[in-house]
Structure 1
């Protein structure tokens, strides 16, 4: 489901504020998960999340463990961090409960917990509660079902590759599908030295700044919109927190360009202002 209807989400949020006590826990989970998945923050979000915290406090034990993980994981896509409940799902008791109810810690659940833990580490420096044990962390967010990030689309990459080679004077000045330690994969990475010059791969040991190019094909967006999916919004936010300069190359801009020269000029305008702005 990738259909992002603002009127529907606004109505859902308003109903949630007024009627959440009447909803079953699966109904509550589905509403929050949908908003997170499609990165929709309603106008009444402050009241909605206040109500969500109230519901979680009073009915925490009624939620299935997997549903709780889904709800909290969806919250980070909306830049909301219910820290009181994060510490609970990271507790040994909760993790044991998750396994005891016949819901093994499969890679998807571990990926959600790992990304939740990463979000807390990067975005909530004041948090002092429980963390996910290191041995439970997944090493990569890439997965067959693309739950945490969408792989770069070959068609768009092949369109960008030629103009990018021309702009940077060769393919030795960037790397593709770069794996990062926290688990994300970067479509294209460009590294700069301390003077702002683009470094060849052979000199990446001297990297001072990193640029992450996100080649955003249609599958990274909500249906028929230019709104990124929640997982993609979170990934970019985290990359920025990790110290990357994030440059987005959306398909709907790039595919309008018909000539090689137009595409080179477009990439120049996208990439080089990012480089030079930080050195003014």
Structure 2
């Protein structure tokens, strides 16, 4: 019904009636139906009253109730950790009884509610992996897309899907090709044994759709490939045609900003990952954004204690290609001695100087539950390395929780380490 005084009065009357009857309702399914009916526009007071009533009936929670609880809370846009945790435990106990679409709905509801539970995601991923024969390729893509919405990286499942795609790329239509590219680039996942074959198979599958793909879809595909350090030549050549670029960069609103960001990243990848590639003169060059001024007192203090003088490092460095560094340190070639920044003005004139970039990343820059950097951060690390930096990646939230002595020792071990780690092998031991 449309908004009017009569409708508002009717809704208010129904709300009062429901609030009076809630204490007498013990059926969880009925309570969940009410949650879906009232939806996200329900007053917070009503949401909490329904939540409290359901909490009293948790002893009667069934697996089906548990699955419905995610959908009901998502419909009401009410993140009740107590209800979600109880429902999670029930789902994990009965994981073998859930269908494909029930699992999808649970994961999508988690995304809506911003509820991230490692145990739940791992249980679903392990169940699907152990029963891989039950799922076709398209179902796996949908599941991984749902995991991508939570920034959760199920390594074994992604490796299995990569094998399927490599063996039978023709099984994917354009929608699923774009879905695979998006998830693997977002989560920065490449199969250990057949990375090149996997990307070449996706490239070959995409080539079959180049006459039918939209320019936006083409840009998203090329951008995802570039994040994964792969240049899809036919798709890239089509993207860089002047008419296609002009159409992408003339769109309005948020789409224009997103398109500019992706085209800029593609351009940077061409310059740094494949400098021999000949670009058309019309390729879009993004204007440098305003320098980011980051306030990272814990890291700054640890560096000051470790290096002894604030002249031994610089903060908030803006680089070409619109990259920025939180802290920069200059060292001798063997990375045994830190040099005052005033002694080396231009690293290009000092080949024996090793530049060290300290990047502080928030938890949202990592895959959920790990220290594995997501695609954009991994691409930045790769490019900084090609610009001559040794990269130190700091998980800032965890760093802040360290004692001062522990923080200093962590930075000391990273700064004076003899061997730099390869970006493609980043894992739990790769970041502070």
Aligned length: 262
Greater CA drift, 12-21 or 50-59:
12-21
Compared CA separation, residues 251 and 95, structure 1 to 2 (3 A): closer
Pairing 1:182-221 to 2, within 5 Å after superposition: 182-192=321-331, 197-200=338-341, 202-203=342-343, 205-207=345-347, 208=350, 209=353, 210-221=355-366
Structure 2 alignment gaps of length 5 or more? 1-148, 420-432
1:139 matches 2:287 = yes
Determine which structure has the larger helix proportion and give its number: 2
Is residue 5 from structure 1 mapped to residue 154 from structure 2 by the alignment? yes
Cα 1:168–1:113 shift into 2, 3 Å? same
Give the TM-score normalised by the residue count of structure 2: 0.53
**Higher relative contact order, structure no. (Cα contacts within 8 Å, ≥ 6 residues apart):** 1
Q: What corresponds to 1:278 in structure 2?
A: none
Which residue in 1 is equivalent to 2:380? 235
Q: What's 1:271 paired with?
A: 415
Matches within 5 A, 1:62-211: 62-98=212-248, 106-128=256-278, 130-131=279-280, 133=282, 136-140=284-288, 154=295, 157-192=296-331, 197-200=338-341, 202-203=342-343, 205-207=345-347, 208=350, 209=353, 210-211=355-356
Segments of structure 1 that go 5 or more residues without pairing to the other structure are 144-150, 276-280
SS of residue paired to 1:67? helix
The answer on whether the counterparts of 1:111 and 1:137 sit within 8 Å (CA) in structure 2 is no
Contact kept? 2:172, 2:205, Cα under 8 Å: no
CA contact (8 A) 1:139 1:182 kept: no
Structure 2 partner of 1:35: 184
1:94-145 per-residue CA deviation (whole Å, 9 max, x = no partner) reads 22454688899723212211211211221223323x34636x21134789xx
Tell which structure's C-alpha radius of gyration is larger. 2
Asked if the contact 1:66–1:98 (Cα under 8 Å) also holds between the matched residues in 2, the reply is: yes
- TM-score (structure 1 length as normaliser): 0.79
Q: Which residue of 2 aligns with 1:25?
A: 174
The match for 1:48 is: 198
- What does residue 244 of structure 1 align with? 389
Secondary structure, in 3 states, of the residue corresponding to 2:306?
Answer: helix
Between 115-124 and 33-42, report the one with greater CA deviation. Answer: 115-124
Paired residues of 1:25 and 1:62 also in contact (CA < 8 A): no
RMSD: 3.3
SS in structure 2 at match of 1:224: coil
| 1:212-241 residue CA offsets vs partner (Å, 9 max, x unmatched) | 111233222100012111111110110111
